[in-house]
Amino acid sequence: MNYVKLGSTGLDISPLCLGCMTFGEPDAGTHPWTLNEADSRPIIRHAVEQGINFFDTANSYSAGTSETIVGKLLKEFTRREEIVIATKVFYPANMWEGSNKPNEKGLSRKAILANIDASLARLGTDYVDLYQIHRWDYHTPIEETMEALNDIVKAGKARYIGASSMYAWQFAKAQHAAQLNGWSRFVSMQNYLNLLYREEEREMIPLCRDQGVGLMPWSPMARGRLTRPKGEQTERTKTDISGQSFYKATEAEDGRVIDVVEQIAHERGLPMAQIALAWVLGKQGVSAPIVGASKPAQLTDAIAALEVELSDEEIKRLEAPYVPHAVTGFS
């Protein structure tokens, strides 16, 4: 595994980040397709054995059980000093039951300081390497949020801070507030980018590239839609309410993109997943796409994509059918 830097930091990360939404107790939260500890073990072990050192979870994944499983298994397979653990704050740990309870959601000082301690306890670690705001909080001044995040860094509970899906003007506002006050700035942006959704290319990606902010695209394979011929479904696609909402309105247009991915994969003799992921990996500014895996073989495919280089002609073919999409992924 050849390691890269996260944006303009000195932090060494694998060029793929293992997304840990897949890991969690199936009866916790709203994702019945998640894997319990026993079923998660071979995937996390395989990731470590293949040199992946970057793991991304969130306090809200499977009501916090994702953090618990990830923290426990990483202790089994590697040393803390060798790995990079990222988690997030905004939603309550039990996001559906706690979404209307005061102070359990959002980015107030109270919520941030409470949630970092809860995440560290579940992960079984004294610090996280990257603490990210999961979404923008329209009800809390950004100065309050950035100062609280800075205090977490100064307290040694997080090494760096990052952000996730939001508008470019919001990200710029947060960075400006931090710069004005001498607070820690976001070093990464976890944004929504794949061949079926490319709206981030208009504003956010150019902003991050200009500022040296590392990109960690989530859902690079469009929740599996780019890994199989159009129309084929898995248990996850049948029950993934968020995924259905992202793609329902553009199903016909997206199908034409999927067809091209399938064609190029056939020509190359490669799985569709490798073609779709290679396109994301080739985007300037990308430090490490976040890939999910429910089987070790899926992770093997993702790692193999690191060696796939698409030609200019293939990239043009992949991008040609795209049509503008409504902005999504921010809620």
Kindly give, in sequence order, each residue whose CB lies less than 8 Å from that of residue 269, ignoring residues fewer than 6 positions away.
none
Q: Return the DSSP state at 107.
A: -
Q: Any idea which residue has 């793609």 for tokens? A: 247
Distances (CA, A) of 134 to 85, 130, 191, 284, 296: 15, 12, 10, 23, 27
SS3 content of the chain, % helix, strand, coil (to 5): 45, 15, 40
The DSSP-derived string for 273-289 is HHHHHHHHHTSTTBS--
Q: Return the DSSP state at 189.
A: E
Instruction: Indicate the Cα dihedral angle 302, 89, 236, 38, nearest 10°.
Output: 70
Which sequence positions are flagged as catalytic?
61
Give buried/exposed letters for 201-219 (b at 16+ CB in 10 A, else e).
eeebbebbbebebbbbbbb
**Using an 8 Å Cβ cutoff, are 16 and 291 in contact?**
yes
Q: Return the DSSP state at 94.
A: T
Count of positions (residues) in the chain: 331
Q: Which two tokens stand for residue 257?
A: 């993109």
